[in-house]
Amino acid sequence: MGKIKIIVVDDEAIVLDSCRRVLEAEGFEVFLAASVGEAIRVIEGQAFSTPLLRLLLLDVKMPVHDGMHLLKHVNEQWPGLPVIVMSGYPTTETLKVAKDLGAVAFIAKPFTPDELLEAVKAVIQEGERH
């Protein structure tokens, strides 16, 4: 099996860069998107046309369209694509909406590299069991 592909969607360059470094060091193939529109283009691109296990790591608060908009779109267009939601504003309402829209996990920002890897690996292992 090839490398597991992960898309990281966040409007903050420092978050994208740190996630990329941590995930690539663990052997994942990482794609970065700074907006919802860019994320949709990446998902629709060749990189995600293969049936390799894949994962979306998604920020909630972004300009133009927020992460919940993308989460809803992903659920409609690519059901079964696991999504981890990350947010610096982990309110009960945010968590509930994310879960209702299909998020499989949540990680509060700021997070450590270990917390990121723990969340990603848990979702991948869960996906392998199904």
The angle that helices 92-100 and 67-77 make with each other, rounded to 10 degrees, is 20
SS3 10: coil
Q: Choose the CATH number for 5-129 among 3.40.50.2300, 3.40.1260.10, 3.40.50.620, 1.10.287.610.
A: 3.40.50.2300
> First and final CA of the chain: distance in angstroms?
17
DSSP states of 54-75: EEEEEES--SSS-HHHHHHHHH
Domain ranges within the chain, ordered by starting residue: 5-129
Per DSSP (E only), the strands in the chain are: 5-9, 29-33, 54-59, 83-87, 105-108
pLDDT, tens digit (0-9, with 9 covering 90-100), for 56-106: 999 988 777 788 888 898 888 888 889 999 988 778 888 888 888 889 999
pLDDT, tens digit (0-9, with 9 covering 90-100), for 26-59: 999 999 999 999 998 888 875 555 556 588 999 9
